Amino acid sequence: MKQDSFVWHPNTQMSEWNSFDKIVRGQGMWLIDSQGNKLLDGVASMWCNVWGHSKRELIRTIIYQSKKLQHSSLFNLTNEPAEKLASKLVIISPGMYKVFYSDNGSTAMEIAFKIALQYWINKNIKNKTKIATLENGYHGDTFGAMSVGYIPEFFSKFKSKLFSTIRIPVPNKYRLPKGYTYSEFKNYCLNKLEKLFLKDNSIAAFVMESGAQVAGGVIIYPVNFQKKISKICKKYGVLLIVDEVATGFGRLGSMIQYKAQDSQPDIIAFGKMLTGGYLPMAATLTTKKVYDSFLGEFHDFKHLFHGHTYTGNPIAATLANENLKLYEKFKLIEKIQITSKIFEKYYSEILELKHVGDIRHKGMLMGIEIVDEKRRKIPFSSNKSLNKIVFEKGKKHGIYLRTLENIVMLVPPLAISHKDLNLLIQRTIETIKTLEH
């Protein structure tokens, strides 16, 4: 059989799709396909686009650096853009001291796990080998990331090959266990964590997304939840790894989400929006305390055995530097805090829709939970994937949407204008209205 395309698409039942629209150009918040149709980018091209497409300053930066130095590795060498970026990241990330580069969020998290596990070995504390985490978290699709961010619907096929972790429940206001108020369940989760640390001193690190769990269904943490976890980790000498890949850099309304949460991690990871969403780059940052444990004589073998071909790529690093400059120049974080209020205007209208069970919103992120039956909160089910249905219907309204399970995700480019955000939300409402079995 002749095939038209040789591309295998991510997280996609390929037999459900006859073809995929070919995007040929991006302009501002819009993606334009080969037929000339325009789609408003409602998912920031997988949650990473900051300024919209074809931002002049970013294109200029790529061209400038491409002419000078395209790639030179950090193995035995360094380069100016990577140095400059590392010093900037350290300045904006309280408590952090060194930056380890990689190319994507999953890998940045793998590096975080390796650093945390090896930290205790370097300190000659042999029993600290376990990783604890929150239920329902997501940290990427590689093996370590799947082990820690284990979402059964995604990863059960690989379960036998994943390492085990200890999991603490997370409060989801919409789906609380019977008999608990939100605040009671929050305290229950925190107590459970403290009890775990009290009885088990072999935990090397606790891992959590910063501010909210995104892929796990847009679960926004209650006030002080992350702060208390940070304090408990400190009290019991457990390293705290905070994943800022999806929620840092303004997505939840603050540049550095762990700072907004008044928490102090030992290791953090950035990705997605680091380069404005134009080139792959990620970074794992650690405190001086963690970094110093890796120093010693060469034959001590205390150094970190990790490296990637494109680590610290100068084009991506220059782009990230320019991106950070634009954040300041255009006061993006302040703007996001204003733009984000637009979502609130639509809360009641969205909640009244027949198939909407709940909405969860913070900053420039909204999750709309689609249910079959509001009262019993039964998730929407259909033979086709809800993603495919919503995508097709959204396309008819000129918007690009992707769902996660039964959650319609609104994750627009951070610098979206008020006009375009209103349009995106209104068209999403129209799209959800047409959902039926």
Binding site for ligand PLP (CB under 6 A): 104-106, 109, 138-140, 209, 214-215, 243, 245-246, 271
- Smaller CB distance to ligand PLP: residue 211 or 394? 211
H or E element: which one contains 222? Answer: none
- Which residue lies nearest ligand PLP, judged by its C-beta? 105
- Smaller CB distance to ligand PLP: residue 140 or 412? 140
In contact, 275 and 317? CB cutoff 8 Å: no
Min CB(257)–ligand PLP separation in Å: 11
The gap between the terminal CA atoms of the chain, to the nearest Å, is 33
- Smaller CB distance to ligand PLP: residue 120 or 138? 138
Min CB(308)–ligand PLP separation in Å: 13
SS3 239: strand
318-334 in b/e form (b: 16+ CB < 10 A) is: bbbbbbbebbeeeebbe
- Smaller CB distance to ligand PLP: residue 31 or 214? 214
For residue 178, which phi and psi values (nearest 5 degrees)?
-55, 140
- Smaller CB distance to ligand PLP: residue 105 or 197? 105
The structure tokens listed for 342 are 């637009």
Residues in the chain: 437
Min CB(404)–ligand PLP separation in Å: 9
Min CB(401)–ligand PLP separation in Å: 16
- Rounded-to-integer distance, Cα 391 and Cα 385, Å: 10
- Smaller CB distance to ligand PLP: residue 120 or 243? 243
Min CB(245)–ligand PLP separation in Å: 4
Using alpha carbons, list the distances in angstroms from residue 46 to 379, 401, 411: 23, 10, 8
224-250 in b/e form (b: 16+ CB < 10 A) is: ebbebbbbbbeebebbbbbbbbbbbbb
Amino acid at 71: H
Min CB(109)–ligand PLP separation in Å: 6
